[in-house]
Chains A and B, each alone.
Chain A
Amino acid sequence: MRIGIPKGLLYCKYHPFFETFFSALGAEIVTSGDTNKNIMDMGVKTCVDEACLPLKIFHGHVNSIKDKCDYMVIPRIMSICKHEYICPKFCGLPEMIKNSISGLPMISSEPIYLQKETQALKWCLSTGSVITNKKSKIKKAFQLGQKALAHHKTGLYEPNNNLTIMLAGHPYILYDEFLNMGVVEKLRAKKIGIITEEFADNSMLEEQVKKLIKKPFWTFQRKLYGAASSFYHQRKINGIIYLSSFACGVDSIIIDLIRFKVGQFPMLILKLDEHTGEAGLDTRLEAFTDMLERRNVHESHHSSHGKCVYSGEDPV
């Protein structure tokens, strides 16, 4: 049996698990290629207009492998941590795919909860039953998948003595080179250090999040906000570059929460959608990094009269 796994959304975080799990069950894995123009165009054509770019690209990935597999995994990831969600669109992903794309093979639409191992196993048991009836085999494959996932680390930590910026954003934007037009490579070429949310000190992160009035209910909101504000407090970074897709509901909140936290601290927001031109993106990146360099070299960190350096607030 050929199992199709579209290379979109949280594939970058969880692919070792899905691949190990299904191949341990004896299935052949079919993944779509890296995102390219063709895939994006197909996605834009089939997906509902109002959706964000990563979702459209996911539609494109599904489109590109729908004829090459017998069963497709459309992960309906409801929640990763307790009392937290990812995004409503994730919860309705199989429905969106089913109703927008015709000629699909069978798809998995069971909800996935990852807070507890037992809940994840439940998904595996119901989805694995498509391939085999042996529960013990599925359980074994599940263990192997867990092990593979434990070895899989994402995140970038390339500090630089001169300039380091935090690259923030949902993982499916950060790690899709086509979607973000190779921002990571561009920063490396400019010799700018990068740090991502995964390398924040966990206790510090939680401490920052606790200062919020309301407990965040989106996992990435908690992580990104917590990481950005703890890096900011530790003076680990010189600026923040936030990669966000147009019409992302979650980002519209996170960006402003970070903004309120860091005040005048340098922060560049790059909004991405299917119309984004690379030249404009390059110009903005360059201008931002030039500004950071000037700040380092030519300007001392002296505050203007009566103002804090970063927050711009009155210190008294």
Chain B
Amino acid sequence: MKVTIPHMGNVYIAAKILFDSLGIDYIIPPLNNKEALLLGSKHSPEEICLPFKLMIGNYISGIKEGADTVLLVGSCGPCRFGEYSELQIKILKQLGFNVEFIVIDPVKSTGIKEFLRRMHRVGAGRKKNGHSKINALFSAYTAMNLLDVIEMKAHELAGFEKNSGECKRILSSCKKEVYSCNDPKTALNILSSYRSKINKISVNPKKNPLKVSIIGEIYTVIEPFSNLYIEDLLMSAGVSSYRNLTPSWWVKDMLLKPIRMNSWQLLEASNEFLPLYIGGHARECIGEAVLASKNHMDGAIQIFPMGCMPEIVSKSILPTLSREKNLPILSLVVDEMTGEAGYMTRVEAFLDLLERRRKNVRFGN
């Protein structure tokens, strides 16, 4: 069995650590690129959202490299994400790929027995005892957390750094180094060393950079290819960016949902504008926007794929929120036809606007 996974930001690094420590054969498809997008949009339904198309592209590249099993997480509505597995299985079958799908759906909908059966299939044929399995899960989760912390720090400190571009360099070399390492223990050590590295970069605390919050649909904010590397762009522009939705946040959210202890801060903040759960991460999006204004951010950028149902609802709420909370918000809709030039122009114009609002235009970095 050779497992492949779809990409979503840095998840592939944690997945690699998990597979390495479980001793499972795996293939990580090449990072999202034009080819994956092209392949994906060719074989996907026309009006489905962007993540679906990119995932299909990932599977096909993974399968061509020899994978025979696809590992995927699922949900149970009301957003389209829950139906991904159904259609993707059919599409790959029609394309003539003989692959097995292991879909990890929430326990609530499949029942504990089916959930455990599916989990068992992931590790089938491996002679690992329960203890080392739990250890593997734990180290993957730790890696995910560390990566998210490093990334968060890098995005924040980019606005304060003395040597411009340092944060960006550290972040990219961290990802490269940890990905090339095949031993889970060393990988975790590398990550912790990078965490202290990023904490020690020389900063100028007197700087007052723009602070922008990135909100919106979880896949498009986390996967850099789908949002045209907006966080890198903000880093080079010397803007501190903040993002709440991370893979480790998602795991925590999923685990705490059954006892209703998940991200209560966000949900509480969203109560004023959207008091009910409507699927996807619309409530979180609204909550983050409210928190952004509370934390004195200069603005927020909402990103979502074309046709995303929950985010359309939040987009219709955001103008009111923007007016009432005095927080400029830019909504960006992405799909396979997003043009880079138009996109960048809008982001730059938005940043310029935020600067002017402060009544003093800053120069350079």
Contacts and interface: CB of A to CB of B under 8 A. Distances in A.
Q: Do A and B bind each other?
A: yes
Interface centre among B45, B78, B278 (most CB of A within 10 A): B78
Contact of A217 (B77, B280, B309): B77
Contact of A249 (B49, B103, B319): B49
Nearest to B52: A252
Contact of A100 (B47, B85, B316): B316
Nearest to B313: A92
Interface in A81-102: 83-89, 91-92, 95-96, 98-100
A255 interface: yes
Contacts of B320: 98-99
Contacts of B48: 252-253, 256
Nearest to A244: B47
A250 B77 CA distance: 11
Contact of A95 (B49, B277, B280, B316): B316
B238 to A, nearest CB: 32
A88 B316 contact: no
Interface in B315-365: 315-317, 319-320, 333
Contacts of B103: 214
A253 B87 contact: yes
Interface in B74-118: 74, 76-80, 82-83, 85-87, 89-90, 94, 103, 105, 109
A91 to B, nearest CB: 4
B312 A51 contact: yes
A92 B275 CA distance: 9
Interface string A211-242: 01111111001000000000000000000000
Contact of B307 (A47, A217, A252): A252
Nearest to B286: A95
A44 to B, nearest CB: 14
A221 B86 CA distance: 13
A215 B106 CA distance: 13
B45 A255 contact: yes
Interface residues of B, number: 44
A252 B45 contact: yes
Contacts of B310: 88, 92
A88 B282 contact: yes
Given A88-B279, A99-B317, A249 B309 contact: yes
B313 A85 contact: no
Most B C-beta atoms less than 10 A away, residue of A83, A89, A251? A89
B274 A213 contact: no
B273 interface: yes
B259 to A, nearest CB: 20
Interface residues of A, number: 41
Contacts of A250: 80
A111 interface: yes
A247 interface: yes
Contacts of A214: 74, 82-83, 85-86, 103, 105
Contacts of B277: 91
Given A96-B313, A99-B319, A217 B273 contact: no
Given A249-B309, A253-B45, A87 B78 contact: yes
Interface string B250-265: 0000000000000000
A112 to B, nearest CB: 12
A50 B78 contact: no
A46 B320 CA distance: 13
A134 to B, nearest CB: 28
Contacts of B46: 252
A251 B86 contact: no
A218 B87 contact: no
A96 B77 CA distance: 20
A89 B273 contact: no
A260 B156 CA distance: 47
B306 interface: yes
A47 B312 CA distance: 10
A50 B306 contact: yes
A50 B87 CA distance: 24
Contact of A89 (B105, B274, B309): B309
Contacts of A99: 273, 316-317, 319-320
A220 to B, nearest CB: 12
Given A92-B274, A252-B45, A252-B48, A257 B87 contact: yes
Given A89-B312, A91-B279, A252-B47, A217 B78 contact: yes
A148 interface: no
Interface in A31-67: 47-48, 50-51
Contact of A50 (B80, B83, B312): B312
Contacts of A212: 86
A256 B45 contact: yes
19 contacts: A48-B312, A51-B312, A83-B76, A84-B77, A88-B78, A91-B78, A92-B274, A95-B316, A213-B89, A214-B74, A214-B82, A214-B85, A214-B105, A249-B47, A249-B79, A249-B309, A251-B47, A252-B307, A256-B45
Given A83-B109, A99-B320, 17 more contacts: A50-B307, A76-B276, A78-B276, A85-B78, A88-B78, A88-B79, A88-B310, A91-B78, A92-B274, A217-B77, A217-B78, A218-B78, A247-B47, A252-B307, A253-B80, A253-B87, A257-B87
Interface of A: 47-48, 50-51, 76, 78, 83-89, 91-92, 95-96, 98-100, 111, 212-218, 221, 246-253, 255-257, 260
